[in-house]
Structure 1
Amino acid sequence: MSAYLHNTIPNLKPFDYDRHHDSLFINQQWVLVNGISTKKAIYTFRDDNILEIERKDATITTSWTISIQNIFTIETEDGVINVKAYFKDDDILVLNHQDKEEFAMYINTTNYTEELNSIEDIQGYLKDKYKKKVNKVIHKHEFYYISKSKEFGPNTVEELKEKVENETISAYCFVRDVNEDSYAKRLRIIDLMQEL
């Protein structure tokens, strides 16, 4: 992966044919993030190497292929380009141009009910997506807490919330993740509860 791409979008996972092709890539509606404010485009990669590019005014049908090294050759209206595919998440695809320091980012909207038509829509989508992800992590995770100079736990956020609601402990008690050694982050139960 080029340093340019890695520095711009960290933690990308290379396209893995067995894992990504059938379940996450083919027949999915990929909205191109680059330039969405001026020209929205939805890319759908089909099984038979057909690429459909849908715009407001027309749908263009072109082609794509993949090589053994996961290099994609895509025919666009600008000509043939070679890209390498990466996933930021299961529904965020990045195609890195092999001849230039350029990449295209796509969001899979196949299972998303709202339309993505602007940068603001994308920001809302990402905020909602990662808030749900954080909620899942927080629900399963456990924390220790300090109350009256003693440490208790570990407890889930739900258990801590219940203790606060029963007035057993204060919402302002400091907590630490079970994997941390100290309370240096100054995180409180109320901070965790706001993420529920």
Structure 2
Amino acid sequence: MRTYLSNLIPSLKKFSKQLDDVSLLTKNHWVIVDTVSNIKSVYIFRANKELIISHDGKVEKANWDYLGNESLLIEKQNESYLFKHGFFDDNILALKVDNKNEYVFFINENKYDVNLNTFDKLINFLELNYIESSKKANETIVEAKKKRILVPFKTSQGIVEIEQESSVHSPSEGANAYLNGKLAPNGKYKFGFMFYVNIEEGKVKSVSLF
């Protein structure tokens, strides 16, 4: 098995599915990434713990087992491998060689011939779909928060400030509410003469006329 060093994989852990999701493992065929060999090796993890390995159509039979503690055992005729969880999703399976900072990479066969057939493409895919997407999502959240302002409302309990996008809006459900610089305590607040606002856990839960 060809292994690769990667500093990216540990940073993807929060995006990864767990290795004990054996249904995802067994329902797909996984192509091992090997940029040196021209042989296409497909690993088929069967539910009965049998492992079918096809090297350009030539079949080798082996066994696999999930051992718990995010560990996967692969036993071939003359050698056995113990792997730890690296990264796992519908497209990519990265297994960490036990006690080493090296990974074996597999690609869902449905993605292999079209998009992901080299180590570089695989890494670019992971960076684009997880690291960059996460950054953009965080930037969007930050920008949205920057646009919000604290709008003061006179209530029966004092001045309550509601985090809003505009001062012309009435309190919005789900908006943060502050009293005396802190999240407003739970309760029903009378806003002016016309309506009431229910606040729970520092957020506007509902707005009503009574």
Name the amino acid aligned to 1:36: T
Structure 1: distance between partners of 2:77 and 2:121: 26
Aligned to 2:18: 15
Q: What residue is the counterpart of 2:26 in the other structure?
A: 26
Aligned counterparts, 1:60-99, within 5 A: 60-76=60-76, 79-99=79-99
TM-aligned CA deviation for residue 47 of structure 1: 0.4
Q: Distance in 1 between matches of 2:141 and 2:109?
A: 29
> In the TM superposition, what is the alpha-carbon distance from 1:45 to its structure 2 partner?
0.9
In the TM superposition, what are the counterparts of 1:176-187 in structure 2 within 5 Å?
none
In the TM superposition, 1:136-151 aligns within 5 A as: 143=143
Q: Which runs of 5+ in 2 are unaligned?
A: 149-210
Aligned residues: 140
Q: Taking structure 1 as the reference length, what is the TM-score of the superposition?
A: 0.51
The alpha carbon displacement at 1:113 in A equals: 6.7
Note if contact 1:64-1:75 (Cα within 8 Å) is conserved in structure 2.
yes
CA RMSD of aligned residues (A): 4.0
Cα deviation 1:61-85 (Å, max 9, x = unaligned): 2110112323221013550111112
Deviations 1:53-104 (A, max 9, x none): 2221512121101123232210135501111123254422221122544321
Would the alpha carbon gap of residues 133 and 26 (structure 1) be closer, same or farther in structure 2, given more than 3 Å must change?
farther
CA 1:119–1:80 in 2, change beyond 3 Å: closer, same or farther? closer
Task: Write the deviation string for residues 99-132 of structure 1: whole angstroms up to 9, x where unpaired.
Answer: 5443212222336672754456646765885699
Change (3 A) 1:143 1:68: closer
The secondary structure found in structure 1 opposite 2:47 is coil
Amino acid at match of 1:110: N
How has the CA–CA distance of structure 1 residues 129 and 59 changed in structure 2, closer, same or farther, with 3 Å as cutoff?
farther
CA contact (8 A) 2:32 2:42 kept: yes
Mapped to 2, the partners of 1:113 and 1:65 lie a distance apart of 28
Q: Distance in 2 between matches of 1:133 and 1:90?
A: 17
> Rg larger in 1 or in 2?
2
Measured at CA, do residues 137 and 59 of structure 1 come closer, stay the same or move farther in structure 2, by a change above 3 Å? farther
Q: Percent identity?
A: 25
What secondary structure sits across from 1:110 in the alignment? helix
Higher strand share: 2
Instruction: Give the unaligned 5+ runs of structure 1.
Output: 145-151, 155-196
- Tell whether the 8 Å contact from 1:86 to 1:94 is kept in structure 2 after alignment: yes
| CA distance in 2: counterparts of 1:114 and 1:132, whole angstroms | 22
Q: Note the C-alpha offset of 1:41.
A: 1.7
> 2:35: which partner in 1?
36
More helix by share: 1
**Map of 1:148-159 to 2, 5 A cutoff?**
none
The TM-score normalised by the length of structure 2 is 0.48
